[in-house]
Amino acid sequence: MEYKIADDTKVILRPATEADLPAMMELIRELAEYERAPEQVTVSPEDFRDAGFGVHPVWWALVAVSTGSEGNAIVGMALYYIRYSTWKGKRVYLEDLVVRQSWRGRGIGKMLMDRLLETAREQGYKGLSWQVLEWNDPAINFYKKYRAHFDKEWVNVSLEF
């Protein structure tokens, strides 16, 4: 899908390819910096590649590629995977929705989110879920436009190995 965002600039949304991985890792690091946790990005390039493009991929992604006078570059992505709810069925989990800082405010996040929602519906999934940091007001306000339900009851729990 192609979107015109300025007289001389377009953004193309497409599925990520293995060649996109270095740019995707840059976006992940940029997001980690924004979220004040750069040291928590510990995935190796090999593990990232194998998890997305190996024999048994566990994630998929859409990338937003700019074309035009500002150059051709990946400027955003939506990385997701499939989860299963015993109450609801198959659902999409949005791991990261990120747009480069210098490209924010041009509608790219909305393009990615809308396309992901469309993809999820086309594939018969029952919903989409994700997390957002409680202090990330720009993201919270963005998600409110989708009439997302913000759950105050559940506590995030994890184990590291």
- CA–CA dist 75, 24 (Å, integer): 9
Q: What is the DSSP string of 89-144?
A: EEEEEEEEEEE-GGGTTSSHHHHHHHHHHHHHHHTT---EE----TT-HHHHHHHH
143 catalytic, yes or no? yes
Q: Of 34, 93, 143, 146, which residue is the catalytic one?
A: 143
How distant, in Å, are the alpha carbons of 32, 36, 62, 90, 103 from that of 6?
29, 32, 21, 38, 12
The residues that are catalytic are: 143
